[in-house]
C-alpha cells in the first residue's frame, strides 16, 4: 500500500519533505500540493507529477490523499491541523504546533475528542543519531545521571526577520522539545537573559539570548540562541553527568586540512545538518501509517508542552526573571 501525501506549504522545508516523500521514502507518493504562492506550488507539482490546488482545504478534502503534511508558516499550523482533524486525516505537522498556547490547546482538545492520535510533530531531532547517542550515555557505565545540559543553536541570519519572541517559538522550540526527550523530564522554570546585542541586531530586538531552565528533577539546562550569528547554522549539545561529560555537535562533517588550515564547513541552513533526521522521521511516519502502528516521534502533546514552554520563555524575556512552567494534566490519550 502506498500512502498518498498531500502537502500544505512548499517553502524550504515543505519542498524538501515533498521531494523526499516522492523520491526517497519508501511507500509514499506526493499527489496534491498547496502553497499561497501558487506558481511555486505549480512548479513543484510539475516536478513531482502531482497536482497543485488553490486552497489548503482542497488538499485536506482531496480524494487523492491519505495523509497530510503541514509545512506552512508557523501561524497557520493550528488552523490547518484543526481542519485536518475535522476531516479525520493523519497529519505530520511541522514545528511549532502553534506559536500561541491557546491555539495549541484547541488542537489537543480536538485530537482528544477524536479519541485517537492523528498528529505526529515534526521535531526531527528525535530522529538524529547524535541525540540518541547522547541519551545512550546516561548509564552507570557512561556519564551517569545528566545534571547540566548546554545547547548551542545558531542561524546564519534571521530566516523570517528577527523578532526575539519568534526566537523562542520557532527556533529554541527545538531545544524545548529535545531536552524533555533527552532527560525524560518536564520543565519547572524558564528564564531568558539578554546580554549585549551584536551590531547587526535590529533596533529593539535582543540577540543572542541565553535561555536558562530548571527541570522538575532539578537538572539545569542552558541554551545559547543566536539568530543572526553571521557565520552559519550550528547545533551542539554537551551534557555534564554525575560521572562524566558527553558532547554532540560535530555531526558527520568532514574535517579538512588544506593550505595550512584545518577545519569544517559550517552549513548555512538546517536542511543539510539534519537531512538524515528529516528523512528518518518521514520514513517512520509512512511506515507507521502503512502498518497502522502507533505514531512514532513527538505527539501533539509534546508540541503543546513545547509551545507552553516557549510562551513562558517569551514572558520571561519581558521580565528577565525565572517564570514557572505550569503544565495541565496530560490526557490519557498521550500516555
Ligand atoms: C528554523 O526556522 C527552523 O525551522 C529550523 O528547524 C531551526 O533549526 C532553525 O534554527 C529555525 O530558525
What is the pLDDT at residue 21?
98
What average pLDDT does range 136-158 have in this prediction?
95
CA distance 185 to 147: 12
What is the pLDDT at residue 260?
85
CA distance 207 to 195: 8
pLDDT digits (tens, 9 = 90+) for 44-80: 999 999 999 999 999 999 999 999 999 999 999 999 9
What average pLDDT does range 325-330 have in this prediction?
96
Task: Inform me whether the pLDDT recorded for 242 exceeds 70.
Answer: yes
pLDDT level of residue 259 (50, 70, 90 thresholds): confident
Task: Inform me whether the pLDDT recorded for 252 exceeds 60.
Answer: no
Please report the atom of ligand 1 found closest to the CA of residue 153. Answer: 10
pLDDT level of residue 330 (50, 70, 90 thresholds): very high
Question: Coil, strand or helix: which one is 88?
Answer: coil
Beta bridge partners of 273: none
pLDDT digits (tens, 9 = 90+) for 177-229: 999 999 999 999 999 999 899 888 888 889 999 999 999 999 999 999 999 99
What is the Å distance from ligand 1's center to 174 Cα? 8
What average pLDDT does range 255-279 have in this prediction?
83
Q: Are 246 and 136 in contact (CB under 8 A)?
A: no
What is the Å distance from ligand 1's center to 332 Cα? 31
Question: Coil, strand or helix: which one is 119?
Answer: strand
Please report the atom of ligand 1 found closest to the CA of residue 94. Answer: 4
Mean pLDDT score of the chain: 94
Q: Are 8 and 31 in contact (CB under 8 A)?
A: no
Of all protein residues, whose CA lies closest to atom 6 belonging to ligand 1?
Answer: 270
What is the pLDDT at residue 267?
78
Q: Of 88-97, 205-214, 256-265, which gets the smallest average pLDDT?
A: 256-265
Task: Inform me whether the pLDDT recorded for 127 exceeds 90.
Answer: yes
- Would you say the CB of residue 171 lies under 6 angstroms from ligand 1? yes
CA distance 180 to 306: 9
Write the CB contacts of 63 (distance below 8 Å, at least 6 apart in sequence). Answer: none
CA distance 32 to 149: 42
- Would you say the CB of residue 270 lies under 6 angstroms from ligand 1? yes
- Would you say the CB of residue 174 lies under 6 angstroms from ligand 1? yes
Please report the atom of ligand 1 found closest to the CA of residue 155. Answer: 10
What global pTM score does this model have? 0.95
Of all protein residues, whose CA lies closest to atom 7 belonging to ligand 1?
Answer: 171
What average pLDDT does range 149-153 have in this prediction?
97
Task: Inform me whether the pLDDT recorded for 253 exceeds 70.
Answer: no
Amino acid at each position: 500500500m502506498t500512502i498518498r501525501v498531500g502537502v500544505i506549504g512548499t517553502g524550504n522545508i515543505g519542498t524538501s519533505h515533498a521531494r523526499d516523500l516522492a523520491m526517497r521514502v519508501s511507500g509514499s507518493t506526493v499527489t496534491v500540493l498547496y502553497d499561497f504562492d501558487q506558481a511555486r506550488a505549480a512548479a513543484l507539482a510539475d516536478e513531482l507529477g502531482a497536482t497543485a490546488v488553490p486552497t489548503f482545504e482542497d488538499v485536506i478534502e482531496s480524494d487523492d490523499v491519505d495523509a497530510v503534511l503541514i509545512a506552512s508558516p508557523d501561524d497557520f499550523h493550528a488552523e490547518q491541523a484543526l481542519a485536518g482533524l475535522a476531516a479525520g486525516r493523519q497529519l505530520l505537522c511541522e514545528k511549532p504546533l502553534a506559536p500561541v498556547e491557546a491555539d495549541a490547546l484547541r488542537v489537543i482538545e480536538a485530537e482528544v475528542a477524536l479519541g485517537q492520535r492523528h498528529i505526529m510533530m515534526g521535531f526531527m531531532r528525535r530522529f538524529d543519531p547524535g541525540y540518541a547517542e547522547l541519551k545512550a550515555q546516561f548509564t552507570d557505565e557512561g556519564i551517569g545521571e545528566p545534571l547540566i545540559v548546554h545547547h548551542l543553536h545558531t542561524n546564519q541570519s534571521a530566516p523570517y526577520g528577527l523578532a526575539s519572541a519568534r526566537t523562542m517559538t520557532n527556533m529554541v522550540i527545538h531545544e524545548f522539545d529535545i531536552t524533555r526527550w533527552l532527560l525524560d523530564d518536564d520543565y519547572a522554570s524558564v528564564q531568558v537573559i539578554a546580554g549585549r546585542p551584536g551590531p547587526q541586531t535590529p533596533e529593539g530586538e535582543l540577540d543572542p539570548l541565553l535561555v536558562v531552565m530548571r527541570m522538575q528533577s532539578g537538572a539545569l539546562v542552558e541554551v545559547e540562541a543566536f539568530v543572526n550569528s553571521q557565520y552559519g547554522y550550528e547545533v551542539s549539545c554537551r551534557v555534564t553527568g554525575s560521572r562524566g561529560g558527553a558532547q554532540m555537535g560535530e555531526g558527520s562533517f568532514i574535517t579538512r586540512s588544506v593550505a595550512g588550515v584545518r577545519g569544517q564547513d559550517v552549513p548555512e541552513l538546517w536542511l543539510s545538518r539534519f537531512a538524515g533526521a528529516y528523512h528518518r522521521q518521514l520514513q517512520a511516519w509512512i511506515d507507521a501509517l502503512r502498518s497502522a502502528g502507533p505514531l512514532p516521534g513527538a505527539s501533539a502533546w509534546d508540541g503543546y508542552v513545547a509551545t507552553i514552554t516557549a510562551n513562558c520563555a517569551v514572558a520571561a524575556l519581558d521580565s528577565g526573571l525565572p517564570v514557572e512552567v505550569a503544565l495541565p494534566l496530560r490526557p490519557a490519550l498521550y500516555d
